[in-house]
Amino acid sequence: MSGRDKKVVFKGRVLPWLLLAPQLAVLAVFFFWPAGEGIVQAFFLSDPFFNTMIFVGFDNFRDLVTSPEYWDSIRVTLVFSLATTATAMGLALALAVAADRVLHGSMVLRSLVIWPYAVAPAIAGMLWLFLFHPAFGVLALALRELGIDWDPLLDGTDAMVLIVAAAAWKQVSYNFVFFFAGLQMIPRSLIEAAAIDGAGPLRRLRDIVLPLLSATSFFLLVMNVIYAFFDTFGIVDAVTEGGPGGATRILVYKVYKDGFQAQDYGSSAAQSIVLMAIVIVLTFLQFRYVERRVNYA
């Protein structure tokens, strides 16, 4: 069988496993074990000290799907993730193209664009809140001067715009690095040839640059969706706390809030399983339908 072929490469079965062991151990301890505990927890109702653990079957899940607020959270999460991903990737691509064309030599400017990635989500949230809080935000007061009715404390759309802006701002740097590296990989000769053939900058972007960036873009799409779904609770916690009226109550924020602030471990675990399932399905769909168009040349 094919196992025999492998033996030609690896002498004995021990060495490969030994080489894999450290990584597997890390995965087991930091991923599979807690994830497994989380799955078990989702079927129990318990006090935080685990003195009382009542098996409740699918009750924790039933409570979620029968709550209209939970379905609203799913809708809010999809809107938030789509908007954040589109904004973060769109801006990063624009910046990368600009940097590639204009700032070619400037290491300083390129480095500056990368800075926000180092900012913790909660801090990023606070920064944006200080700019846009209707009572004391510098830019919010400016908007008010201009006669724009800006109130993220009571207007759900304004609140959503604010957290999308904060979440996207943080992620733009990450995307920028990859787009910028991707652009540098594109052979100059291709672009020059197109230019000689009379293609303008936009045409070259559409027909040469973007197709050649498709592998990078696909990777970033997957990463950005995962970021928006999992990594953004700190921003919501600092900026809107899910308000107003639940307009920014994204799923991962509820997982965090119910688990780490309310110590409702059963529901929090059930919610995290639902969240994980949604992301798995989305990632699968991305690979199934989007990856087909990716050019790995």
Quick check: 157 binds another protein (CB under 8 A)?
no
Among 52, 75, 108, 289, binds another protein (CB under 8 A): 52
Please state the φ and ψ torsions of residue 207, each to the nearest 5 degrees: -95, -20
> Could you tell me if 44 and 55 are in contact, meaning their C-beta atoms sit under 8 angstroms apart?
yes
Spatial distance between the Cα atoms of 259 and 239, rounded to a whole number of angstroms: 19
257 belongs to the binding site for another protein (CB under 8 A): yes
Interface pick for another protein out of 31, 50, 58, 71 (rule CB under 8 A)? 50
Of 13-21, 49-57, 76-84, 278-286, which part binds another protein (CB under 8 A)? 49-57
Cβ burial 17-35 (10 Å sphere, 16+ → b, else e): eeeeeeeeeeeeeeeeeee
Judged by CB under 8 A, the residue of 48, 187, 200, 201 near another protein is: 48
Q: Kindly write out the interface string for residues 108-127 of this chain, putting x where it contacts another protein by CB under 8 A and - elsewhere.
A: --------------------
Q: Does 136 bind another protein (CB under 8 A)?
A: yes
Reading the block at residue 3, the tokens are 């196992």
Please name the residue that has the structure tokens 């935080």. Answer: 48
Interaction of residue 72 with another protein, rule CB under 8 A = no
- Helix-, strand-, coil-residue percentages of the chain, each rounded to 5: 75, 0, 25
Q: Which residue has the tokens 């939970």?
A: 70
Measured from the CB of residue 60, what is the shortest distance to another protein in angstroms?
A: 9
**Shortest gap between Cβ of 128 and another protein (angstroms)?**
14
Q: Does 260 bind another protein (CB under 8 A)?
A: yes
Q: Which of 2, 49, 157, 189 binds another protein (CB under 8 A)?
A: 49
Q: Please tell me what DSSP assigns to residue 244.
A: S
Tell the smallest beta-carbon distance from residue 151 to another protein (Å). Answer: 9
Instruction: Choose the stretch contacting another protein; rule: CB under 8 A; options: 96-104, 162-170, 254-262, 285-293.
Output: 254-262
Residue from the set 79, 134, 186, 211 that interacts with another protein by CB under 8 A:
134
Span 229-248, contacts to another protein by CB under 8 A: 241-246
Structural contact between residues 245 and 76, judged by C-beta atoms closer than 8 angstroms: no
Q: Is 71 in the site for another protein (CB under 8 A)?
A: no
Exposure string for 92-124, b = 16+ CB within 10 A, e = fewer: bbebbbebbeebeeeeeebeebeebbebebeeb
d(CA 182, CA 189): 15
Give the interface size with another protein as a residue count (CB under 8 A).
36
Structure tokens at 89: 């990737």
Q: To the nearest whole angstrom, how small is the minimum distance from the Cβ of residue 105 to another protein?
A: 43
Kindly tell me which residue out of 25, 120, 153, 193 binds another protein, with binding defined by CB under 8 A: 153
CA dist., res. 175 & res. 180, Å (int): 8
State the residues that interact with another protein by CB under 8 A: 45-52, 54, 63, 67, 69, 133-136, 153-156, 241-246, 249, 257-258, 260-264, 266-267
